[in-house]
Amino acid sequence: MLRALIFDVDGTLAETEDLHRQAFNGAFADLGLPWSWSPARYADLLTVMGGKERLRHYVETEHAGEAKALGPLMGEIHDRKTRRYGDLVEGGSLALRPGVGRLIAEARAAGLKLAVASTTSRPNVDTLLRINFPEGDVPFDVIACGDEAARKKPAPDVFDLALRRLGVAPSEAVAFEDSAAGIRSALDAGLPVIATRSRYTESHRLDGAFSAVSDLGEPGAPHRHLSGHAWPGGIVTLDALRDWHARITA
């Protein structure tokens, strides 16, 4: 029986990544650092999972001579980035990607459990949910974030953590991801994966996902099928998910 849906956040729940890029650039400017990440540069940096890890990688590879001196500043840069990201989300009312809110509502109405499994920090998740759901209404039963896991994606740790907190087996859940590293993470946790390609993962191979689509689709606005399982009408619905799950577990 399908009992739970587990969602990545950045690029999966919402197209957040460019706001993260802008927030990093704002933090650099705040601290007088002459750095600016273009969209193309940030796309390259996204191969490193986790904002703190991404920043550390950038400093160690692009500013190796200054890495030791910059070390004490890393925490302040990331803290400023997190605050700036929150301000950008609040000010811009960043919407959920197509079909996400609909599928979450269908799952809640049917009594399925819902979880987040993300490398992003908890404040970023909380801000995104606060602007997209009514006050006091948290749709997710479990929120597992990168700082709580020993290893970032593509390791399976954060999905393992979400499954433990949900109290479900991997065979009873489906994961939603947008990146190659995220798909690997979910697969290694034993989860089947639906991939929804996002702005910053256009170049990623989505190998391993049992279905890859442009988004989850909405009535009157079907998604574009990319590979694997095709959904009736170009919409990933709970009924269609249950039908697929029943067939593969029969």
Name the E strands within the chain.
Answer: 4-7, 113-118, 142-145, 173-177, 193-196, 211-213, 225-228
Pick the most confident of 70-74, 92-96, 104-108, 143-147: 104-108
Residue range 191-209, pLDDT digits in tens: 999 999 999 888 888 999 9
Question: How far, in Å, CA of 131 to CA of 151, rounded?
Answer: 29
Catalytic positions are 8, 10
Question: How far, in Å, CA of 87 to CA of 91, rounded?
Answer: 6
Q: Looking at residues 20-40, what average pLDDT do you find?
A: 95
Q: How many alpha carbons lie under 13 Å from residue 77 in its C-beta half-sphere?
A: 24
For 172, the 3-state DSSP assignment is helix
Mean pLDDT check: name the lowest of 15-24, 166-175, 187-196, 208-217: 15-24
Q: Global pTM?
A: 0.89
